[in-house]
Structure 1
Amino acid sequence: MSASPILITGGAQRLGRHCAERLVEDGHPVIISYRRERPELEAMRRRGIVALYADFSSEAGILDFIARLKDETQSLRAIVHNASDWTPDRQGDEAGADFERLFRVHMQAPYLINLHGRELLEACGEPQRDIVHMTDYVVQKGSKQHAAYAATKAGLANLTLSFAAMYAPAIQVNAIAPALIMLGADDDQAYAEQARAKSVMGMVPGPGVVYQSLRYLLDNRYVTGITLPVDGGRHLR
């Protein structure tokens, strides 16, 4: 348990919310960023989770979030970059704007938060301090329908290496690359079966496996600059 909070960006739903709530159960104070108000936020606030609005679609929005984060806390035990935008590729005039937004969410926001958040991590009194980037299995192979998403997540994976070298040994920087952890509300049975068939494990494990992976990184003092795959063995297909 740490007195300094753990920041999870995009922590209001799905994997981010699960990890935030599990960390609170384990005794860690937690700060999350959220993009829009949703009913789940009130329940999270009642559990003591601090929720800060963030618009990562512009540099000004990112810097505004960083300033309010520093007003909220003087130190951080860890930063978990979970904020993500699963926008498919579009043709025409929207394509450029879509790519720019994904770049800002997946690359510029983590980049700037890591730079400005270094002093918050160094102010933590704990012997271990972490940055964790949530990337994606798709980084390994690209995507026919989400090329911009895959490219910007690949950029985030590369930032893992750079910041790990830059911040060692005081701050460890790693990544988690998940695939098919949870189904979406609109995913039908046919999609679920098709998705399961992509891995040798043939299952949809739920968010607990990502929390186990995050916990491993937060608890291990001798790991930095790695990407931990949580994909059910897709590389074996």
Structure 2
Amino acid sequence: MKNVILKSSGLMISVLAIAACAPVKPVATTPVAIPPAAVVIPPRPIAPAGSYAGMTIPPLDADGTRSSPNKNLTPDEIIWNLRSAYTVAAVGCRGGANENFTALYNEFIKKHSKYMAGISKNIDKVYQSRIPGNAGLRARDTDMTNLYNYFSLPSVSDPFCDKMLAVAYDWQSLPATQFEAYSIAKLPEVDAIFTGFYDSYVAYERALAEWRMKYEPNSADGVTTAAGASSTGL
């Protein structure tokens, strides 16, 4: 009986060993579907306050800065252009602290009329040296009209009026001998209000074009081109 048991035990051990060496079949699994990541659309770019579609934007000059009637001027022209900005502000800035503009401007003109008349005559001579005779004076009149229109941009009236009110108070206490140095320092600050606005509008147009190409590729309303260039060609 012991021999039989041993043989049976040996057989059992052999069967178990063979079973242990048999390959294990993989268990079939069902693939789990992973949902696509949600597309987060950023807000549509917002136009600068006071802007509108298709507005005319001054081009860039060769130096890469925005074209402006306040660039490349003689010292007399710089003084006169700042004085022209003062004229526009005195006429157009109203309400609150701006109510003092008219009185400040009239006092300034009365006090410095002779000095400003001399500046104006010097500029006339510059124009007539470029274009002889009355044609030179007419060219200056045209440039002055364009300058007044430039300073009359409604989109930046608030910062423009604030800046020019500060200039008005400064000029009340300045002697005429300091007008040149003061104007050379201040005219670029005034001009930056306008060129900065135009630059921000061009940046907005480009950002909007890029946004549309990515999130609204089939949309077009004429504000920008498909390539992202300004509608004004800038």
> TM class, shorter-chain normalised?
under 0.3
TM-score normalised by L of structure 1? 0.22
TM-score normalised by L of structure 2? 0.22
- The answer to which structure has the higher strand fraction is 1
